[in-house]
Chain A
Amino acid sequence: MISLETYILITILPPLIVCLVTPFLSNNANLRDFLGPLGGIISSYGALEIMNAVLEGKAPSLKLLQIADGIKIGFEVTPLGAIFGLVASVLWIFAAIYSVGYMRGNQEKNQTRFYTFYAMAVHAALCIAYSGDLLTLFIFYEVLTFSTYPLVAHKQNELAQKAGRLYMSILVGSSVIFLLPAIIWVWVITGSLEMSKNGVLDGNISYEYAPYLLAMFVFGIGKAALIPIHKWLPAAMVAPTPVSALLHAVAVVKAGVFTMLLILTNVFGIDFLSKTGASTWLIWLASFTLLITSIIAIYKDDIKARLAYSTISQLSYITLGGALASAMATQGAVLHIITHAAGKITLFFVAGAIYVGAKMSKISELNGHGKSMPLIFLAFFIGSLSIIGVPPMAGSWSKFFLMLGAAESGYLFVLVVFSISTILNAYYLMEIPARAFFLKKDKEIKVKIPTLIIIPILCTCFLTIILFFTMEPFQNLTSIMVN
C-alpha cells in the first residue's frame, strides 16, 4: 500500500526528473523524446490516485521544507487542486507526444532546451495544483513564469525576444507588485499563510478593505488574463505551438484561474464574498473582459491569435464563476477548467498541425483545405463545439452549471452576457472549419502531417466527448469543495 504522500511525489516528481535528465540526453534524441510521454503517464497515474483519495474525503498532504518560522513549502491537496493536477498531467501526455511530432516536423533548433523547460513548466503547474499554503503557491507560480520564458523566446529572433520581455514584465511585474503584498497582507492579518476550506479572512478584515485586498489578488494573478493585464497571452503566441497548446491553453492560464478560484474560495470564502459583496466589481470586470475579447477575436486573422483571445474570454468565464460567489457557479467554474482545457488544447494542436503540414497560419488562407486534411478539421470542429457548449461535448456541462450559478446568485445580466458570448464564440470558431470545408481552394498546397501529431489530436478530441459522459466524479469533487 503506497501512502498518500508518496502519490503526491509520484505526481510531481516525474516532470522534475525529466527536466533534470533531459539536458544530458541531447545526443540521444529518441530516448529524450520518449521521456516526456512516459513521465506524463506516471504523473497521471499519481494524479488519478490522489483524486480518488480526495473523493473519499481525504486530504493528502506533504511537508517538504521548513524555511523559517511560519514559512514552509508544503503540499496539501484540495478537491480543486486534484482536478487541476489531473488535467495538467493527463494533457501533458498528449502534449508531449504532440511536441515530438511538431518539433521534428518543423525542424526546430535547441530541442533539448525546449524539452527541459517544458517539463519544468509542467512540474511547476503540478506543484501549484497541490500547494498547501499561499507561499508555496506563489513560489511555484513564479517558477512557472520563469520556466516558460525560454519557451516563449524559443525562436530567439527579435519578435520572440520582444514577446518574451512583454510576457515576463507583465507576469512577473503583476505578481511581484500585487500578488506578493496581497499574500503578505493576508499573512499579517491572519497570522499564518494557511488556507482553509471556508476561507480565512472572515472576522480578520473589515468589510471596506476586502474589495481592495481582492483587487490586489485579481491584478496580481496576471496569468488569469483579465482585461488590463491580458496582453501577455497574445504576445506569447510566438512560441512553438506545443507551448501555446499545453501552457497557454492549459498549464499557465489554468494555473492563473486556479489560483484565482483558490483565493476566492479558500482565502476569502464563498460565504464571506456573498456576505460582503466584495467581488461584485469583479463580476463586472470579468463580464467586460469576456465580451470585449470575444469581439477582438473576431477581427484576428492569425489562427493562434484568435485562439488566444478566445482563451482570454473563456478564462473570464471561470473568474466570473468564482466571483459570483455561489455554490453552483463555483462548481461550474471548476468544471470549466477541465472542459475548456480539453477543448482548447485540441484547437491549438490543430493550429500547429496546419502550420507544420501546410505552413499556414492565417485563417484567410485556409479556404477549401478541409478536404486535404479532413481529420484535422473535424477535430477542430468537435473541439469548437465543446468550447461553444453544444451537447454531447464536455463544454456543455460547465456552461450549464455556470448559468445555473448566475441565476442562483441573482445576477441575471450575467446570463445575458453568457448568451451573447456563446453566439460570438460560435461565430469566430466556426468560421475556420466552415472556410475549410465550404469555400473554394485558392491554391494547391502539398500537405504532410506527421503521425505523431495526428494521434494526440484525435485523443484529445475524443476526450472532449468522453468527458461529457464521465463528468460525475468531477462533479462530486466540486460538490465536496463547495459544501
Chain B
Amino acid sequence: MDKNPILRIATKILFAPIILFGLYVQFHGDFGPGGGFQAGVIVASAFILYAIVFGLEKGKELFPLNINLFLLALGGILYGGVGIVSMLLGDEFLSYNVLGSSKQAGQHIGILLVEFGVGLTVSNVMIALFYAFVDFKSSNGETK
C-alpha cells in the first residue's frame, strides 16, 4: 500500500487535520457535544491511518510502543491525580470545586484536566489495540 502515491499524499494531508479535529472535539467538550472518549478515538485514528498506509514499522517509528504505554498510563494517572489533588486540598475525591479560585473556575480546570486524561488514555488504548492485533505473530499477542 505504501507504493500508492494517492493514498500516501492523502494521508499526509489528512494527518494533521484529523488530530486538529480531535483536539477540537476534546476541548470543545466543555460546552458542547464532545469530550475525551470521542476525541481520543479520533486522534488514534490518525495514527492508525498512518500505520495502515505506511506500514507498521513506520507507524511504530512515529509512535513507539513504549511512549504509547507511557501515555496510556499517564492519562489514567492524570485523571486520578486530579482526584488526589482535590483530596489533598481537603475535599472529596474528584471534587473540582476546590481546584480553582472560585467554584466555577475549579469546575473548569477539573473537567479540562480529567477529559484530557481520558482522551490520552482512550487514544493510546486504541493504538495499543491496533498494534497488538496487527503485530500478533511477532509479539506475544498479549493485549495490554
A adjacent to B, CB under 8 Å: no
